[in-house]
Amino acid sequence: MKRDVIVNGRAAELEVNGSSLRYADVECNFDLVETEAGVYTVLIDGRSFEAIVLAPGQVSVNGVPFDVEVFDPRGLRGRRGAASSDGPQSIAAPMPGKIVRVLVAAGDEVAAGQGLVVVEAMKMQNEMKSPRAGRVAEVKIAAGATVTAGEILLVIT
């Protein structure tokens, strides 16, 4: 399982494979046990840590608080989806497919959550939504086009 994570504002990739863990460039073995609701004991390479879920997106590890965001890199948002991020945001195809409809044009103002484009993949239509309010700077596709996974469809500024 791979996930993009942001811990206290720093982005990294987390990969868990059985009892093996890789975070950024560090690999180790781990064991995780839930001792009570929201409280975990984590054993990493022989060192024990207590992790407590304080609230959604907030974890305390051995008494030190951390802000944590976890994103599935295959998801529509990925790590770029933080609505508070500044600068241009590229909206990419989540998987190979066909563009059914383009719902916006270059120069259009969009609201957070507004539909941008409809992609058909595996006989399902998926509406991709704007991760934040802004202006459509560029539309790189047209209805009927075939796209590959990760291909940039449009850019929001």
Residue 76 in domain: no
How many Cα atoms are found within 13 Å in the side-chain-facing hemisphere of 37? 1
pLDDT of residue 26: 83
pLDDT of residue 86: 60
pLDDT of residue 85: 54
> Of 71, 98, 130, which closes a domain?
71
Number of domain units in the chain? 2
pLDDT of residue 81: 43
Shared-domain flag, residues 65 and 87: no
Shared-domain flag, residues 103 and 66: no
> Of 36, 71, 106, which closes a domain?
71
pLDDT of residue 13: 85
pTM of this structure = 0.48
Instruction: State the Cα–Cα distance between residues 143 and 131, nearest whole angstrom.
Output: 21
Shared-domain flag, residues 89 and 60: no
> Of 46, 71, 96, which closes a domain?
71
Residue 77 in domain: no
Shared-domain flag, residues 43 and 89: no
What is the pLDDT tens value at each position of the chain, 157 positions in all?
888 888 877 888 888 888 888 887 788 888 999 999 889 999 988 899 999 988 888 899 998 888 888 887 666 544 444 444 567 888 887 778 899 999 999 999 999 889 999 988 878 888 888 888 899 999 999 999 999 877 889 999 8
pLDDT of residue 79: 45
Q: What is the CATH number of the domain that holds 60?
A: 3.30.700.30
121 pairs with which residues across the strands? Answer: 124
Boundaries of domain holding 99: 83-156
CA separation (Å) from 126 to 8, 30, 78, 119? Answer: 32, 37, 16, 5
- Sorted by sequence, the CB contacts under 8 Å of residue 97 that are 6+ apart come out as 119, 120, 121, 122, 126, 146, 147
